[in-house]
Amino acid sequence: MFIRGEVFVLLCRVGRVFCVVCIAIVASALPAQAQTKSIKDPISYIIDQLYPPVPDFKTPSGYKVRIGAVAGFTPAFEGSSDYHFRYAPLLDVVYRDRIFLNSNRLRFNFLPAGNIRGGFEFKYRSGRKEQQSEDLAGLGNVGAALEAGGYVEARLHATVFSFDLLRDIGHGHKGTLAGLLIGQGLYQDDNTTFGIGLQTHWASKNYMSAYFGVDGVQSAASGLPVFNAGGGFKDVGLTLYLKQDLSKHISLVSNVTFRHMLDSANDSPIVIQHGNPKQLLSSLALRYEF
């Protein structure tokens, strides 16, 4: 059960204001041209940045479907300082606490008992196109990846732990990724949920090389120095999450995330010369559930 009381009612209200203010700050701080560029980012990249999956342990009796859209500000690529205003459609499907489809992520739960889930996971990662940003000129494309692996989630009172391990089984980055999320619910009533989450990702050498490395050919074409990326922690982030039910079927979801790149992602000349390891993302989603 989430912590209740007048203090957390006030905290929830402050959280709503904070989310709105952060969205406004990011919008006003970005250059005008960054907000109006017509470059089309892949939908799966937009969703990954603006709509991270939040564990939900309310088991439906049959199935649950959510459709909607998310909009917000996302960097042109991981580590970029060039922000774009972007939007994407959303589709979430849950069937009897067994199958979870979150837009570009599919999970099968084999432990539907109590507050523990675990099973197989598949995820589509759209890769990175050189045309996404002028800062990527000469670096070429990173192919789309189909990642497969497993996950486990556990909930203890108002605290949620989530871990997944995925490997590219296609021809994209050809690497391995591990993600850890620790979420803490701060307030919940019949219509409002407010919480925070701390998240980090570890990536193998292949993934880091694909997205942050610069080989000899890329160096000659881009003007960036050669950089041999190694495996390690890719980033760490803090997220504020707010869900507000407007009616029985309609809800608003807001996320504000501060993220800092680590290890080879932080040291890459792609980030140092053309980006910023410190990133602030904000989004707002409207969902219809039936």
Long-range contacts of 188-193 (CB under 8 A, 24+ apart): 188/2, 188/4, 189/4, 190/245, 191/244, 191/245, 192/12, 192/242, 192/243, 192/244, 192/245, 193/2, 193/241, 193/242, 193/243
Entry field: residues in the chain:
290
Q: What is the pLDDT of residues 71-92, one digit of tens each?
A: 999 899 999 999 989 999 999 9
Q: How far, in Å, CA of 247 to CA of 192, rounded? A: 11
pLDDT of res. 43: 80
pLDDT of res. 114: 77
Q: What is the pLDDT of residues 158-191, one digit of tens each?
A: 899 999 999 999 889 999 999 999 999 998 888 9
pLDDT of res. 132: 86
pLDDT of res. 212: 98
For the domain made up of 6-289, give the CATH fold. Porin (2.40.160)
Q: How far, in Å, CA of 183 to CA of 198, rounded? A: 6
pLDDT of res. 118: 95
Residues of the chain with pLDDT under 50: 1-4, 7-12, 14-15, 17-38
pTM: 0.84
In the chain, domain spans: 6-289
Residue in 184, 172, 181 with CA at minimum distance from that of residue 235: 181
Q: How far, in Å, CA of 231 to CA of 276, rounded? A: 20
Residue in 180, 220, 182 with CA at minimum distance from that of residue 200: 180
pLDDT of res. 139: 97
Q: How far, in Å, CA of 89 to CA of 191, rounded? A: 23
pLDDT of res. 161: 94
pLDDT of res. 281: 92
